[in-house]
Amino acid sequence: MSSDPLLEVADLSVGFDGFDGYADVVGDVDLRVERGEIVTIVGETGCGKSVTTKAITGLLEEPPAHVDGSVEFDGMDLRELSEDQRESLNGDRLGMIFQNPLSGLNPVFTIGEQLIDTAMFGGKNDDGILSYFRRRRSTADRENARDRVVKMLREVQMPDPEAVLDSYPSELSGGMRQRALIAQALLNEPDLLIADEPGSALDVTVHDRILSLLTDIIEDRDMSILMITHNLGVARQVSDRIYIMYGGRIVETAPTEEIFEEAHHPYTQGLIASIPQLSGEEMAGGIDGSVPKYTDPPSGCRFHPRCPYADEQCRQSPPPEVSFGEDSHAVCVRHTDDGTTPTNEKTKRRLMKNGSVQTGGER
Amino acid sequence: MSGVRSLLRRISGMITSLLGLSILIFVISRVLPGNPARLALGAFASEEQVDQLAAELGLNDPLSVQYIEYMRRLLVGDLGQSLQTRNSVVQDLVTKLPATFELITLAFVFMAILGIPLGILAARHQGGVVDNTTRFFAFAAVSVPSFFIGILFQLLFGYYLNWFPITGRLSSAYGNEVISTTGFMLVDTILSGSLAAHIDAWMHLVLPALALSFGGLGQVIRITRSSMIDVEGKDYIEATRAYGLPSWLIVNKYSLKNAFIPTLTILGLQYAWLLSGAFVIEIVYSWPGVAKYGVQSVLSSDINAIVGVTMVIGLAFVTANLIVDILTSMLDPRVSFAGDST
C-alpha cells in the first residue's frame, strides 16, 4: 500500500441538534481510500453510513449538523475549503451517486438539460452568471457538452441516449434513471466516486446489472470508489477493502478476503452468519434488536445490547482497537482478554441459540 | 390527450362554472331587500311610476319567466340597462374595466417582482433580516384591512412625503390633453403624445396598486420562501451540489423552477382576488373602476349591474385558473392541465 492515500478521514464526528436533544451520530471515524482502490462501508440501515459520506462531501448543513475531524483529499483539507473551492472540487474531482434514483433527478427538467448543465458547469467551470448565458448560447460549447453526455450515456448502456435527452425523469424506468445518475456523476471524470447504495432501491436483477456496470466502468478508468452498502454480498462483489460500521463507529476493517475468511468483530460475524447460503445449512436469523438511538446511545461499546458476548466491561468502557495485520483492525474488548475470542462459528451458534432460526437477510 | 382537446374540455368546464354562477347571482339579486324600481326613481316618484318601471323591467313576472328572459339575454351578451347610470351595463363595464384592469395588473406585477425575489432571499437566509422583516410584514398585511393600508399610504406617501398624488387617475391639468381611446390611461397618454401626462398617470397608479398588492405580496413571499426551503432539502438539489454546479445556478434555476409551481398557484388566485380587493381600494382612491361601480350598484340594488360585475369577476377567476393550470403543466411535465394524470 502506498502511503499517499487519495482520501484520508481522521477522527470524524458528526452530531445533530434536534428536538430530542443532541444526537451523537458518527464518531471516531478513520478511513482512507487509496488511489485506484474500491472501498465499501457496510452496515445496517441507520448506522451512519450516509451521514459519513455527506460529511465527507460537505453536503451537511451546519448547523444543525456539527462536524469535527479532518477530511483530507489529495493533500487538501476539505473541511478548510471555502464554499467556492468546494463547489469547484465537487463534480470535478469528487463525484457522488445517490441512493435513490427516483428522487435524484429533478422532475421538472429534462435529462438532457440536467446532464448538459452538469457537463458544462459542474466542477471548476463557474465563471459567474454572465458567462452562463453566454455559454448557453454558444452552440459550439453546447454541442460539445451534448456529445460528452451522449457518449457517457452510451457508456452506461442507456438505451437510445438521444431520445433520453429529451425525456423527463418521470418518463424513464428506475433502472434508466439510475444509469442517468451514474452518467451524471461520471461526466466530469472525478478521481473519487462516492456511491451511496447505488441501485439498492431497484429490483434485484436491475440492481445486479447496475453494480456490474459500475465495476466495469471503474476498471476502465483510474478512479477510486467509496461505496456504501447494507449488503455484505455487494461489498464482496466489488470492493478491495471493507469498513464495517455500527452505531456511527467503525467496528472493523480489513481487506475483503480477510473479512470473509476470518471476521473478528461479533457484529461482522453476525452479518456474515445471516447471509443466506445455497448449501441449505441452517443460518442465524439475524442479530436481534435494532440500531441504537443516537440521542441516548448505549454506554461503552455501542453494540453491547445486541452482542452475544457482552458483559459488564463492554457496558462500561469504550472498547480498544485491536490490530490483526496492517490493514485489519477490530474494535472489541473480547480480543484483548484471555476469555472468549469471538469467531464466526461461535457467534453463529450463539445467535442461533438466542433467537429464531429462519431464512432472511440481515434485516 | 391532445392539447386542443384538453383545452376544449377545460373551456367547457369554465362555461359550466359560469352558468352556475349566473344562476346564483340571479337568485341573490332577486331576493335582495328593497325595490330596485323605487331605488332607481328616488323617493319622490309616484307609486304609478314605480309600478310602471317595475313592469318594464319585468320585476312583476313570476321568477321562472324572469329567469328565462334573464338567461336568454345573458347568452346574447345583453346585460340590460343599469338603473343608476341609465346606460347599458355592457357599455358601463367597457368604460370602467380598463381602469380596474390597469390597477390590478400593476398590483400583480408588484406582487410577482417583489414577492418572488424577497421569498428567495428569505429562504436563503433563514432567520436573517429579510426573513424576519418579511414575516412581520406578511402577518401585518393579512391582519390589517386594506382600506387602512390604503389610507395609511395616502397619508404617508401622499400627504406627508408628497411623493404621489392621493386620488384619481390623472391630474386635472392634463384632462383636456388626453383623449380616451382605449380606456387604459397609460396607453391613452402615450397616444395623446404627452410624456408629462404619461408620467402623471404612472404617479397616480403606483400608490393604489401598491396598497392593493400588499396583502397578496406577503402571501407570495411566504409561499415562495417555504417552497424554496422545501425544495432545497430534496435529493435532486443536494445532488446538484454534489456535482459541483455553482450555487447561483442551483438556486435560480433548479430550485426556483420547482418552488415556483406552488407560487404560481397562489399568484393565479391572487390575480382574481385583487379584483375583490379593488372594491375597497378604488373607493379609497376615488378610482373610477369597475369595482367602485359594483359597490354602488349593490348599494342601489341595481340588479343588472350587479349581475354584470359579478360575471366579470367570475370570468376573471376561471380564466386565471385556466392560465395557471396551463402554465403549471408547462412547468411540470407530470401535470396535465386537463386535470387527469398522465
CB contacts < 8 A (A, B): 98
**Peptide bond just before A266 cis, omega within 30 deg:** no
From B243, B258, B261, residue closest to A91, measured CB to CB: B243
Q: What angle do CA A48, B242, B333 make, to 5 degrees?
A: 110
Please provide residue B73's backbone torsions phi and psi, each rounded to the nearest 5 degrees. Answer: -70, -35
Q: Which residue has the higher pLDDT, B294 or B338?
A: B294
d(CA B172, CA B297) in angstroms, rounded, equals 27
pLDDT of residue A338: 58
Specify whether B42 is located in the same domain as B158.
Answer: no
Specify whether B49 is located in the same domain as B186.
Answer: no
Q: Is residue B339 part of a domain?
A: no
Arithmetic mean of pLDDT over chain A: 77
d(CA A88, CA A107) in angstroms, rounded, equals 25
Q: In this predicted model, what pLDDT tens digit does every residue of B37-75 receive, in sequence order? A: 777 777 777 888 888 877 877 777 788 888 888 888 888
Number of domains in chain B: 2
Q: Dihedral of CA A208/A209/A210/A213: which sign? A: positive
Q: In this predicted model, what pLDDT tens digit does every residue of B145-172 receive, in sequence order? A: 878 888 888 888 888 888 888 878 777 7
pLDDT of residue B309: 87
Residues linked to residue A96 through DSSP beta bridges, in sequence order: A194
- Asked if A108 and B246 come within 8 Å (Cβ–Cβ), the reply is no
B340 interface with A at CB cutoff 8 Å: no
pLDDT of residue A361: 39
- Asked if A107 and B332 come within 8 Å (Cβ–Cβ), the reply is yes
How close A6 gets to chain B, by Cα (Å)? 18
* ipTM passes above 0.85: no
Residues 6+ away with beta carbon under 8 Å from B263? B115, B116, B119, B220, B223, B224, B227
Count the Cβ atoms, other than its own, within 10 Å of residue A35: 15
From B240, B252, B333, residue closest to A168, measured CB to CB: B333
Residue B238 has pLDDT above 70, yes or no: yes
pLDDT of residue A14: 82
Q: In this predicted model, what pLDDT tens digit does every residue of B300-337 receive, in sequence order? A: 778 888 888 888 888 888 888 888 888 888 888 777 66
In percent, the amount of chain B with pLDDT more than 70 equals: 96
How close B330 gets to chain A, by Cα (Å)? 9
pLDDT of residue B267: 87
pLDDT of residue A362: 39
Q: What residue spans define the domains of chain A?
A: 1-93+190-363, 106-188
Residues of B whose CB is below 8 A from A105: 236, 239
For the segment B237-260, the average pLDDT, to the nearest whole number, is 81
Which residues 212-241 on chain B approach chain A with CB closer than 8 angstroms? 234-241
pLDDT of residue A128: 66
For the segment B256-281, the average pLDDT, to the nearest whole number, is 85
Residue B341 has pLDDT above 60, yes or no: no
Residue A344: all three cell numbers together: 464466526
For the segment B192-221, the average pLDDT, to the nearest whole number, is 86
Closest-CA residue of chain B to A194:
B242
Q: Which residue has the higher pLDDT, A329 or A109?
A: A109
Task: State CA B305 to chain mean position distance.
Answer: 18
Residues 6+ away with beta carbon under 8 Å from B9? B338
- Residues A158, A164 contacting (CB under 8 angstroms): yes
- The DSSP output letter for B184 is -
- Asked if A87 and B246 come within 8 Å (Cβ–Cβ), the reply is yes
Final residue in a domain of this structure, among B17, B46, B75:
B75
d(CA B83, CA B308) in angstroms, rounded, equals 12
Specify whether B231 is located in the same domain as B296.
Answer: yes
The torsion defined by the Cα of A161, A166, A171 and A176, in degrees rounded to 10, comes to 20
From A108, A122, A124, residue closest to B258, measured CB to CB: A108
Which of A106, A164, A228 best tests the B interface by mutation, with the highest count of B CBs <10 A? A106
How close B252 gets to chain A, by Cα (Å)? 10
Residue B57: all three cell numbers together: 323591467
pLDDT of residue A315: 77
Residue A357 has pLDDT above 70, yes or no: no
Specify whether B65 is located in the same domain as B176.
Answer: no
Q: In this predicted model, what pLDDT tens digit does every residue of B106-122 receive, in sequence order? A: 999 999 899 889 888 88
- Asked if B332 and A108 come within 8 Å (Cβ–Cβ), the reply is yes
pLDDT of residue B87: 83
From A98, A108, A117, residue closest to B257, measured CB to CB: A108
Q: In what order do the strands lie in the sheet with A65-73?
A: A21-33, A7-18, A65-73, A76-77
* CATH class held by domain A1-93+190-363: alpha beta
Q: Which residue has the higher pLDDT, A280 or A34?
A: A34
Residues of B whose CB is below 8 A from A186: none
d(CA A52, CA A245) in angstroms, rounded, equals 10
Specify whether B41 is located in the same domain as B159.
Answer: no
The torsion defined by the Cα of B280, B286, B290 and B296, in degrees rounded to 10, comes to 80
Q: What angle do CA B287, B96, B52 make, to 5 degrees?
A: 115
Of A24-38, A131-145, A235-249, B205-219, the range with the lowest mean pLDDT is A131-145
d(CA A66, CA A311) in angstroms, rounded, equals 32
From A103, A105, A121, residue closest to B245, measured CB to CB: A121
DSSP letters for A273-288: HTS--TT----B---S
Using the structure block, give the residue that is written with the C-alpha cell 463547489.
A87
From B239, B244, B333, residue closest to A123, measured CB to CB: B244
Nearest to A211 by CA among A185, A241, A175, A244: A175
How close A167 gets to chain B, by Cα (Å)? 10
Residue A335: all three cell numbers together: 480480543
Specify whether B127 is located in the same domain as B208.
Answer: yes
Final residue in a domain of this structure, among B25, B46, B75:
B75
Confidence of residue A360 (pLDDT cuts 50, 70, 90): very low
- Asked if B242 and A108 come within 8 Å (Cβ–Cβ), the reply is no
Residue A360, SS3? coil
For the segment A215-237, the average pLDDT, to the nearest whole number, is 80
Specify whether B287 is located in the same domain as B200.
Answer: yes
Closest-CA residue of chain A to B258:
A108
Of A138-147, B124-133, B287-296, the range with the lowest mean pLDDT is A138-147
Closest-CA residue of chain A to B236:
A104
- Asked if B236 and A104 come within 8 Å (Cβ–Cβ), the reply is yes
Confidence of residue B239 (pLDDT cuts 50, 70, 90): confident
Specify whether B16 is located in the same domain as B94.
Answer: no
Which of A121, A152, A226 best tests the B interface by mutation, with the highest count of B CBs <10 A? A121
pLDDT of residue A224: 84
Q: Is residue B85 part of a domain?
A: no
Q: In what order do the strands lie in the sheet with A224-229?
A: A94-97, A192-196, A224-229, A38-42, A241-246, A249-255, A328-331, A321-325
Final residue in a domain of this structure, among B75, B105, B130:
B75
B333 interface with A at CB cutoff 8 Å: yes
Using the structure block, give the residue that is written with the C-alpha cell 467503525.
A250
Count the Cβ atoms, other than its own, within 10 Å of residue A254: 25
CATH label of the domain that carries residue B95: 1.10.3720.10
Residues of A whose CB is below 8 A from B253: 117
Q: Is residue B175 part of a domain?
A: yes
- Residues B155, B290 contacting (CB under 8 angstroms): no
Residues 6+ away with beta carbon under 8 Å from A19? none
- The DSSP output letter for B225 is H
Residue A240 has pLDDT above 80, yes or no: yes
Residues of A whose CB is below 8 A from B333: 107-108, 168, 170-171
Which of B230, B245, B260 best tests the A interface by mutation, with the highest count of A CBs <10 A? B245
pLDDT of residue B164: 82
- Asked if B247 and A104 come within 8 Å (Cβ–Cβ), the reply is no
Residues 6+ away with beta carbon under 8 Å from A21? A295
pLDDT of residue B342: 35
Residues of B whose CB is below 8 A from A78: none
Closest-CA residue of chain A to B235:
A104
Q: In this predicted model, what pLDDT tens digit does every residue of A257-284 receive, in sequence order? A: 888 877 778 788 777 777 776 666 665 5
Specify whether B132 is located in the same domain as B250.
Answer: yes
B125 interface with A at CB cutoff 8 Å: no
Give the range of the structural domain holding residue B40, as residue numbers without chain letter. 2-75
Q: What's this model's pTM, rounded to 2 decimal places?
A: 0.74
Return left, alpha or beta for A142; rule: phi > 0 is left, psi -120 to 50 is alpha, else beta: alpha
